[in-house]
Amino acid sequence: MLSRVLLFFGLLGMLAGVALAAPSSERQKQLIHRLKHDCGSCHGLTLKGGLGPPLLPSSLAAREEAELVEVILKGVAGTPMPPWGSELTTEEARWLVRVLKEGVI
């Protein structure tokens, strides 16, 4: 009986963990702001490209989410793309990639 109760709360905890992994709505606003201003300074304010390549859904459609998350967190050595790993968590980078792929902006 006790083990069932523990299992139940264990599962509940996991579900809560998944839900909490998405950035809060306040943080989402900050991330969108950063996307337009910081990322936009190279990728274009409307993300159609500039110094950096376009980040539009059509440009990213064929790219793996994990690969793009890696680029954002680690940057691309030898190019102006800087690493953002000290400012963004993996979950936030993943959320940004989803936003970009969906073309929310």
Binding of ligand HEC by 76 (CB under 6 A): yes
* Residue 63 backbone dihedrals phi, psi, to 5 degrees: -95, 145
> Which token pair is 89?
């968590």
C-beta of 17 vs 78, nearer to ligand HEC: 78
Binding of ligand HEC by 66 (CB under 6 A): no
* Residue 79 backbone dihedrals phi, psi, to 5 degrees: -125, 170
Binding of ligand HEC by 101 (CB under 6 A): no
Binding mask 77-96 for ligand HEC (x = CB under 6 A): --xxxx-x-----------x
C-beta of 16 vs 51, nearer to ligand HEC: 51
- Angle, helix 90-102 to helix 65-74, in steps of 10 degrees: 120
